[in-house]
Amino acid sequence: MIVIRKVDELRKYSIEQRSKGKTIGFVPTMGFLHEGHISLITRASVECDLVITSLFVNPTQFAPHEDFDSYPRDFEHDYNLAKNADCDVLFVPAREEIYPEGATTSLSVGDLAYVLEGKYRPHFFDGVATVVSKLFSATLPNKAFFGQKDYQQTLVVKALSKDMLMGVEIVVCPIVREPNGLAMSSRNKYLTDDERNKAKILFQSLVATKEFIESGERNRKKINAYLHDSLRKLESLKIDYALAVDASNLEEPNEFDEGSEIVLLLGTILGKTRLIDNMVVKVPITKYNEDDRFQIGLK
């Protein structure tokens, strides 16, 4: 595995590899890698000839009151994990490589960026869109791999690649969870042992609500109420949002259609730690036997 720190050097490498017919998979991260990141690198190594992983804590997606300065960083830890996962290139740019002095250009991805997570972090998705576009320009990937845990972000990045004609296929990979169900995140480091144990309620609530939907419930307000009731069992959990939306566009119909996909989205704070999670649920299709259909036809 090689380490590249300069954009020009990385772009030259990628152009050379693509000229040889190699496919490039890209895994953008903010470092402090965990098993969730490793699953992305592993998936990329299966689907592509070469894997580039970036380590860059992006300043434009942090508000002034957020944890940019304290965000966990450990290059040696990240280097060893990425190397063992068969990463080919570790891209570790300095801030001025991604945001040169005097740079003023940024991207906005529209309404999708200002609901749910974007409502509580209005700077966030524009920062994501801007840095991802820069990283795509540096790495020139065929595919980019993102985790489902950041569900809204995956929709934003898909829209970015499509709208800006980038031609990068966005591959969304399953959430990797801790033994108690907590979605893996670099920010889990901030949790105390007691908070980490209590945080299992997020996954438990998602599973319970999934079963509620699969039992036949399609009314959005009833689904949301069920999810909230489950989460409120942990009084110390602050809920920014917890709701069911259309998985393709985050819209909120009164009733979900049979056979459609719902995503249950959570944005919460436990102690001082922001925790997000989600679960995709397929709305069951009502099945009738022949006698039922005959009786319905007579009415």
Which residues are tagged catalytic? 37
CB 184 within 8 A of CB 213: no
Maximal CA-CA distance, the chain: 75
Exposed e or buried b per residue across 55-86, where buried means at least 16 C-beta atoms within 10 angstroms of its C-beta: bbbbebbbeeeeeeeebeeeeeebbebbeebe
Amino acid sitting at position 68: F
Strand boundaries in the chain, DSSP class E = 2-4, 24-29, 50-55, 89-91, 143-147, 169-173, 237-246, 261-270, 273-282
Q: What does the alpha-carbon distance between residue 196 and residue 201 come to, in Å, rounded to a whole number? A: 10
Please give the helix or strand (H or E) that residue 83 lies within, else none. helix 75-84
- Cβ neighbour number for residue 181 with a 10 Å cutoff: 17
